[in-house]
Every structure is written in C-alpha cells, then in structure tokens.
Structure 1
C-alpha cells in the first residue's frame, strides 16, 4: 500500500463543557438580580399586607440586604476557595433561595428585616464562588469573554425584571412570586450540583483533550506570589487599586438601578421613565464587547494590556458620556440624556470583565477571596452613589455646568472625575508584579490596616443604608 494513501488516525476533538459552564453561570447572575429586583416591584403590595412596613422601614429592608451582602463577601470567597465551587455555590444558592421564598411568608416588618439580611448573606457568595469556578475551568485567554458573558446576566436580569416581576405579582400575588423565585434558585442549585465538578478532569462529560486544553491555558499565565499570605496579596497596591477603581464603576452603575428612573420621571414625566431600562441593556452589550476585547488582546500576546486597555478605554468613555449628560438636562426630549448616559454606562460596564479577570490573574486558587475583597469595597461605591446623588441634585452647584440646583449635572461631573481617577489607577495595576515577602511586623501593620478597611466599609454601609436611608 502506498504510504501516502494510509488512513491517518482520527484525533479526538476537545469537548466544550466549559461553554456550558459559562451558560450556567450566566443564568446564575440572571437569578441573583431577579431575586433582588422582586422586592422593589412588590413594595406597594407588601406594605398593604405587612404591619409596620412604612417607607422608612422599607428603606431599612433594602439597606439591610446590602450590609449582609458586603459583610460576607470575603468569608464567602474564602469558603469557595476552600470547599470548592461545587459545594460552595450549591449551598449559598439554596440558602438565599430559601430566604427568597421565606420573604413571601413574613407578616411583620422585623421578621422581614431578618429574612432580607440573611438573603444578603447568602447572595454574598454568588460572585466570588462563580469567579473561582471560572478560574478552574477557563484558560487564561478565555477569561475575558467568560467574565463578560457571566456578568451580562445581571444586567439582562435587572432589565427583564422591570417588566416581568410586576406582571407575575399581578398574576399570582407577591407572596407566591417570592416562592416561585426561590424555587427557580433551588432548581439551579440542583442542576449545578449534578453537573459541575471542581476540576474539568473530574467531569464525566469532559474528554482528555478539553481537560488538557484548560490545564495548559491556566498554566500559560503563571500566577505570581502564590506562596505569599492572603493578607499580603489583598493589601497589595494591585488589589487596593482594584478596589478603588471598582468603587468608581459602581458609582455610575448603581445610578441606573436606583435614581435614574425617578430623576427622569420628575423632569420628563412617567412615560419617559420607562426608557431608563435602555442603559442596562446597553451595559450588557458592553460586557460582551469588553470580554471579547480582553480575550483578543490576550491572544495577541498582551496579558497585562489585555486588562488595562479595555478598562482604561471604558472609564474614558464613561467620563465622556457623563460630561455629555450635563448638556442634556435643559432639553425638552429625554432621548439625549438616555443616549449620553447609555454611553457612560457602556464605558463603565466595559471595566467589569478586566476587573474580575485581574482578580483571577493575581488570586489563582484564592480568586474567590481576592474577588470578594474587591466586590466588598465596590459596594461602598454603590452606597455612596445612592446617598450623594440627591445631595448633589439639591445642594451642589458648579460654575458654567451646574449654575443652579435641581439638576444632576454636578453629580455627573463628580462621577466623571472618579472615572478619570480610575483610568490613572489602571496605569499602575499589573497582575504580573512580583512582591517581596513582608516581615512579621509589616504583616501585623497590614492586618490592622485591612481590618480597619473592613470596619470602614461596614460602618459606611450601615450609615448610608440604614441611618441615612
């Protein structure tokens, strides 16, 4: 037989179970925001049925979730790293789903406070646990697009909930709506436990070729400083800068789900307020685009710039969009504001994929705890935006831009400045930076500083969400 005509053996093609993982985690984030938005949609119905649930008490109910959520970010991330995402995510999803369902069973304002605090504690593990799962299942070059798709579920879930939740409540009532949402989470948790494994090698549906592809992809970007203590990593300049810039993005993002709708309604009317969902959908597109850009730049051999460029470009677009917003407040149509704020939100949403990929780069097997620390401080930016927005509207003026109170122009300038500072922060962030081991005395100072940071975040959240809220 002619050797040239010999049949070459078929090389098995790598399976693609990691893509199913990203899909499951996308649905996971949709679920988290469906559960969060449900209580906002049910507010009026709940106040009619629950004794003592005044507007002030409802503010405490909203705020107590944020406190529990932020307080348990690092413990939940640490647990995900230690126990593995299969067990950790199954547990936390079932916990918050139970308390979502129990929200429909409360009859007093105090019991509602307790239930929503425990709901926040459960949801604290959602993002750190998912980040840890993505680290073990995605090659370094695919982390950007994986994080982009994963986080876009939150924006799509929030936008859809603005339409779906009121309709469901009118159909089955607010109590059964919470039960239905809880059941969705429990079903997801069961599927996760059945399908997911902590490493691709353990998965029965992942072949050797895909497991090898993932392993090589993880090791092609070596995690620096793996032998250093967690406290040194999380108090390094890299992580502190990551915390700051993530707070900056949240200052802009959380306006889209808190004050944007009532602000538009007050200035342009109730019909125009329905357009407030558009920036959220634009933000979801930004997450996909940024994830693709992060992935493409990494594949071109730029591991550091693949994080920096999308983040810096995003914050620059965010600042430009916010400054343009200041030129729209006197216009008769709301569309210029919607378009300019959509540009701003597109920009800041571009920063999520590189931010969370950055945590995976420097955290490695401690990605859950490192990303939890960033997310904890990021919540401070969210709380800050909710509190300072009305203050800026009613009290702060600026020459030429906000010459009188009653517009959000001064806040837009403040948020734009934070975005500019975030651009500067990214110029100093490098996931490949090698750290020297600290002395015991230096570690003690770092520990004290880290505990002080946690206490500051918790105090700030309690003050802004419960005392001022």
Structure 2
C-alpha cells in the first residue's frame, strides 16, 4: 500500500485489525499498577499516623514530597521519552517506580539513617517521616514516566479521531487501581503487616514489564501490525508526512516549546486540575476517617463505588468529543466543547458538606461525580497535545504540563494539610473540608476559561 495516497479511514478501519488496542490494554494495565503503587500509602495512612504519631501536616509533607519530585521529574521524563523512545522509557520508568514502591517497606530504618545525615546540618525530623519521604521521591521519579510514555504510545498507534477514546480507556486504569487498592491493601496489611502490602503491590510492575518488552515495538517495526492497520493509524497525517515518526526531525528544546500558547494552555489546565485528583486520591480515606470514623475494611465499599464511577467518566469523557467531531468540528475544538460541559460537573462537590449529615453515601457519591468529571477532563486535556504538536515533541509538552500539574498538586496538598490542622484545632474540621471542596469544584471552569483565552481555536503547530 502506498502510504502517501489518501486513505479512506472509515473503510480501512473496518478491516485493519485491532493490534493497536492490545497496546492500549498494555497502557491500561501499566496505569493500573501505577495507581496501585501510589495508593498504598493513603490507605495505610490512618494506621501509620497512629503508629508513628503523624499530624495532618506531617502526612501532607510526605504526600507533597511525592508531588514535588513528580512535578520536577515530569519535565525531564518527557525529554527522556522523546529521546530514547517509548519502549525503553517505559522499562526504565516502571523499574524505578517499582523499586520505589518496595522501599516503603524499609522506610523507618532508612529514615533513621537520613536523620543522622540531616542532623549534621542541624535539620531535625522524625525518622518515619524522612524514610517515607525518600521512598515517595523514588516512586515519583519512576511514575513520572507513565503518562508521557503512554500519551506518546497513543500518538504513535492511533489516528487523532481515536486518541481521546484510547486515552480514556488507558487512563481508566487509574480508577481500577484506585478500586483494587482498598480491596487488596487492607487485606494484605491485616494478614502480613503493612510492609508486606508495599512489597507485594510493588512486585506487580516487574510482571507487567516482561509483557511490555515482548509485545511493544514502534508501529513501523511491529511485525504483529498489518500494513492496513499501519495505514489506518497514519490516515490523518498530512500527505507530505506519510512516515512521520517519533524520531523524525531534530531535537526540540523546552524554550522552543514555551514560545507557543498551546504549551501554556496545556500547562495551566494541568496546574489547576491535577491537584484536585491527587487531593481526592490522598485525602479521601482520611476524610472518611475524620468525618465518619471509618477505617480499614469499612472504607473498601465506598471507595470502590466512588472509583467505579470514575471509570465511566474516563471512558465516556474520552468518547464525548467524537459527538462534536461528527458534526464537523476539528479535534481540538471538539475536545474544548466537551471539556466545557465536563467542567460544570465538579460543582456538585460543593454540596458534599452541606448534605453530608444525611449519610456518608451523599458525599461519596457527589465526590464520585467530581472525580469522574476529572477523569473525563484528563482524557481530553492529554489528547489536546497530540492534536496540536508533532509526535517528536508530544512527550516533552506532556512533561511540561505534568510539572505544572505536580506543582499545583503540591500547593493544594500543603494547603489541605494546613487547613485541616487549623480547623481541627478549633474543633471545626467540617469547615476545612468545605473550603477544600470549594476549591476543587471551581478549578475546572477557571482552567477552561484560561485555556480558551490562550488558544481560541484549533491551530496545529507545523514549524517544529
């Protein structure tokens, strides 16, 4: 087949094969493992806080250590993915984050060693806090590679019209991880202890890596991919660039990328909204414990229901832009229309505290709607990058936005720790959660407004 000739995407799509969905499944399971590893600490936090005497601020510092290192690492992760390729980058990323997950089991003695070192500089901190901060930092360095690599793999294996749907599917792995974690972690910890929970969950990454090495290769080298499917994947590339690949073109610097409003729009959208998801991820078990006295097995069903709801948001949100694209909108414009609708749903979180006295299920379901909206938003905001930037720079832009999102997450997590400790001291923790839920509810409309002002309409970048 001559790849420079126009391809009827609809006709080809019916007969090309489905190997690209195998790649999507691999990305889904990687993201599931990613969030399983990330979630273990938050589920054990109430018990660990009691064992080690952590305050809300102490826990916020541990969580913020992950987010801060994740933010910085995202910037470099994107560059690494663009430089060494998706396959090798994923191997490096999952090896590092799996080792980081295992390190949590040995955090207390590690913290004691770090405490001696820092003590020489006059810095005093509890050994348990230091040890967990170090482990979270290593976990963050590895996990920063997941989304740049996954988005780049999606750009390599899917035409634009399928990318947000594919992104929604693999991104729903975050929800599956968040569902499985409250089922598995308390059970493992209850039988074998909290250290075993970190070790057993951390080993899953190495199993996934063996399958990835076997099944993944770039499309033009993939023997399992038919010529028809390869043509379909490339069906919406410009005719003069039929063989555009991640290696095409020269190196693109960060300064070059920062010249474009599209980069700033993506970065601001991530800055405003990433912290909301992390707030839900890190603080929900603590919220259910503080507000309703729920711990251990008691939180399994509520969290499973909440994160099951987010799967609908992730996959449905990935499909939603196709409604507008089918009516003639460019991919970016269709996504922005979908994202505006999505941005209104988190407003229901404002009702979580006022109606929370009725039953714990009220805030769980309302926060579930907000978290579902975040996953729908996430499936689309990630894909705006591959809509507008050439493949060789996609991971780098994702990294820039990821760093911005991480910084936003650090600020929101630190703010949460301070707010909760303050209102706990005045015996009014409900007001503290009302403030934080209000910030989470409004973040998406603010983000969308600024993104739309920066990039009013679709404009693909062709001069990189």
Structure 1 counterpart of 2:317: 290
Mean CA deviation greater in 424-433 or 178-187: 424-433
- Structure 1 segment 152-231 matched on structure 2, within 5 A: 152-198=172-218, 200-219=219-238, 230-231=254-255
Task: Identify the match of residue 435 of structure 2 among 405, 410, 413.
Answer: 410
Residues 1:255 and 1:22: Cα distance change in structure 2 (over 3 Å):
same
TM-score under structure 1 length normalisation: 0.78
Task: Identify the match of residue 240 of structure 1 among 252, 256, 264.
Answer: 264
Structure 2 counterpart of 1:55: 54
Mean CA deviation greater in 118-127 or 408-417: 408-417
CA distance in 2, matches of 1:351, 1:313: 10
Structure 2 counterpart of 1:151: 171
Mean CA deviation greater in 381-390 or 201-210: 381-390
Cα shift at 1:417: 3.2
Partner of 2:266: helix, strand, or coil? helix
CA distance in 2, matches of 1:284, 1:415: 19
CA distance in 2, matches of 1:391, 1:48: 19
- Structure 1 segment 389-468 matched on structure 2, within 5 A: 389=416, 406-407=430-431, 408-428=433-453, 429=455, 432-433=458-459
Mean CA deviation greater in 416-425 or 13-22: 416-425
Instruction: Indicate if the aligned counterparts of 2:20 and 2:158 stay in contact, CA closer than 8 A.
Output: yes
TM-score under structure 2 length normalisation: 0.79
CA distance in 2, matches of 1:306, 1:100: 39
Structure 1 counterpart of 2:75: 74
Task: Identify the match of residue 378 of structure 1 among 405, 408, 424.
Answer: 405
Structure 2 counterpart of 1:138: 158
Does residue 64 of structure 2 align to residue 25 of structure 1? no
Cα shift at 1:299: 4.6
Q: CA-atom RMSD, angstroms?
A: 3.3
CA distance in 2, matches of 1:314, 1:221: 36
Structure 2 counterpart of 1:254: 278
Instruction: Indicate if the aligned counterparts of 1:41 and 1:165 stay in contact, CA closer than 8 A.
Output: yes
Residues 1:219 and 1:18: Cα distance change in structure 2 (over 3 Å):
farther
- Structure 1: give runs of 5+ residues left out of the alignment: 1-10, 397-403, 439-469
Task: Identify the match of residue 18 of structure 2 among 2, 13, 16.
Answer: 16
Residues 1:219 and 1:153: Cα distance change in structure 2 (over 3 Å):
farther
CA distance in 2, matches of 1:278, 1:221: 49
Deviations 1:251-299 (A, max 9, x none): 4323322333333433334278552443322122101001111244335
CA distance in 1, matches of 2:208, 2:33: 9
Task: Identify the match of residue 304 of structure 1 among 318, 328, 332.
Answer: 332
- Structure 1 segment 263-274 matched on structure 2, within 5 A: 263-270=287-294
Residues 1:43 and 1:221: Cα distance change in structure 2 (over 3 Å):
farther
Structure 2 counterpart of 1:353: 379
Partner of 2:320: helix, strand, or coil? helix
Instruction: Indicate if the aligned counterparts of 1:314 and 1:349 stay in contact, CA closer than 8 A.
Output: no
If asked which structure has higher relative contact order (CA below 8 Å, sep 6+), I would say 2
Structure 2 counterpart of 1:446: none
Question: What number of residue pairs does the alignment pair up?
Answer: 413
Residues 1:301 and 1:251: Cα distance change in structure 2 (over 3 Å):
same
Partner of 1:71: helix, strand, or coil? helix
Q: Which has the larger radius of gyration?
A: 1
Residues 1:417 and 1:39: Cα distance change in structure 2 (over 3 Å):
closer
- Structure 2: give runs of 5+ residues left out of the alignment: 1-12, 115-130
Partner of 2:172: helix, strand, or coil? helix
